[in-house]
Amino acid sequence: MSLIVAIALLFAVQVLAATTLSTSTTTTTTATASTQYAVPTYSNPVVWASPKYNVGSMSRAISVSSKTEYGQMVDPDNTYTIYRDGGGSCTLYNRTFFIFDDTTGYKTSGALGGFATNSIAMARDFSDPTSLKDFSMSDSVGYFLPIPMTTAEATASKVTSKRYAFWTYTNCVQLSETSAAHFFLVNKYSSSTSDTFLGNTVAQLSINPTTNVMSAVRYTEFAFDNTTYPYGSFASMVVNGVAYLYGLDATYSSSYDVHVASVPVGRFWDSSKYQYWDASTSTWSYTQPIPTARRQSSAAIQGTMPFSSGTVFYSEYHNQYLLIFFNRWIDSTFRVITAPTPLGPWNITNSVLWKTTSGASYNYGGVAHPVYGSSDGSTIGQSLKVHFSYQDDDGTTYPKIGQITFK
Ligand SMILES: *[C@@H]1O[C@H](CO)[C@@H](O)[C@H](O)[C@H]1NC(C)=O
Ligand SMILES: *[C@@H]1O[C@H](CO)[C@@H](O)[C@H](O)[C@H]1NC(C)=O
Ligand SMILES: *[C@@H]1O[C@H](CO)[C@@H](O)[C@H](O)[C@H]1NC(C)=O
């Protein structure tokens, strides 16, 4: 239930814990972790849409004219051969990068170069969408975690079968031109084959455009722990300066229900400013729900199939909010549902957009990247870059990128 606290409060908690250490039996301090690293300067200009909260009716029906698979997203200059999965994109100061999940890099000799629960790579050129520049794993940098761990998490993770995993399947929340928040599901392994979902965590990513240094900070260990909904881990969107954070109820609804929290972007790091939507009463509350059963009527979206990964955004082309998603029935298919406001009412009759070609097993982690559409001369939402995790016949997994173009 711990949420983001202000930095000042965090320091206060640490000082308090230190001074009461000798008498306290529970020496729980709020976890922190931070890191900084150089970023490549590949720049792709983007223009953001700024929709009204309620955009009214759709200007055109959903209809796909073409689908294109470009292939594996890969850094052509990296001598490491890299496998990884999941991931979402983020754009700061016209630089679009992807943060991927569990990543393994092999040297040209075939020896292991590194394994990390996250890796980060910059998009080089929007017109060449497969081409990335890795900057946390390569022969030259070795490897590091772009999303930092606390000392305790890092220590535990030295033993692979006890490690922490930070996984994202969605894009970041845009807070300003140079700052964003990215949510990660936190899983903890107890053996090599068994892991437990603990909640999600959120990292503040800030770029210094002069020094080209990225700073990544986690103010608390968890944003939302596993007694509540992992808001922001399914999808997120900023409209009129308010961040809408979408979370799946995997525990009680088997991921059919999507619950929503909101916070003004300027107050993102202040837990007291978060509100939680109850669709059954159409009201926001500052009190965070702690579910003990399915709360179907309180959900902003009740799907007709269980959601897996998704992206919510405003499509200027359709004049409507779109939720593009993959389901848990692992049919490797991008689908869409639509709404006139971030909260709905969602028309849950989905349209199939693209059944992608799978390899040895199903594709997963389908995510859309509408930001690419702002630079290709089309209206935002008209042509849409999407990526997904592809499982190859040789047992490896890697991201592929493609495009869906609407009529
Ligand atoms: C990003 O690119 C757009 C389009 O060219 C431009 O209007 C904007 O000023 C750029 N933003 C930054 C921070 O450079
Ligand atoms: C939730 O997290 C706690 C640790 O904070 C863990 O002990 C528990 O097993 C988790 N619950 C579930 C349902 O995974
Ligand atoms: C809901 O979406 C479906 C699929 O796009 C569409 O056929 C249907 O007309 C929509 N319903 C309403 C009420 O707009």
Ligand 3 site, residue 351, Cβ cutoff 6 A: yes
Ligand 2 site, residue 187, Cβ cutoff 6 A: no
What is the 264 CA–ligand 1 centroid distance (Å)?
23
Ligand 3, closest atom to CA 62?
A: 5
The C-alpha atoms of residue 134 and residue 39 are separated, in whole angstroms, by 9
Average pLDDT, the chain: 92
Which ligand lies nearest to the CA atom of residue 339 in the structure? 3
Predicted confidence band of residue 4 (pLDDT cuts 50, 70, 90): very low
What is the 8 CA–ligand 1 centroid distance (Å)?
33
Ligand 1 site, residue 177, Cβ cutoff 6 A: yes
Map out the domains of the chain with their CATH numbers: 3-23+31-406 (2.115.10)
| Cβ pair 301, 357 in contact under 8 A | no
- pLDDT tens-digit series, residues 131-181: 999 999 998 899 999 999 999 999 999 999 999 999 999 999 999 999 999
What single string gives the DSSP state of each residue in 172-228?
Answer: PEE-SSSEEEEEEEEEEEEETTEEEEEEEEEEEEEEETTTTEEEEEESSS-SEETTS
Of the given ranges (27-41, 200-214, 307-321), which has the lowest mean pLDDT? 27-41
Specify the pTM: 0.92
Secondary structure class of 349 (helix, strand, coil):
strand
Candidates 207, 232, 233, 205; CA nearest to 219 is 205
Predicted confidence band of residue 22 (pLDDT cuts 50, 70, 90): very low
Cis omega (within 30 of 0) on the bond before 306? no
Ligand 3, closest atom to CA 347?
A: 1
- pLDDT tens-digit series, residues 78-126: 999 999 999 999 999 999 999 999 999 999 999 999 999 999 999 999 9
- pLDDT attached to residue 225: 97
Query: Could you tell me the CA-to-CA distances from 81 to 74, 77, 87, 138, 358 in Å, in that order?
Result: 9, 10, 18, 9, 21
The C-alpha atoms of residue 220 and residue 197 are separated, in whole angstroms, by 17
Candidates 122, 158, 116, 166; CA nearest to 137 is 116
- Residue of the CA atom closest to atom 13 of ligand 1: 93
- pLDDT tens-digit series, residues 243-276: 999 999 999 999 999 999 999 999 999 999 999 9
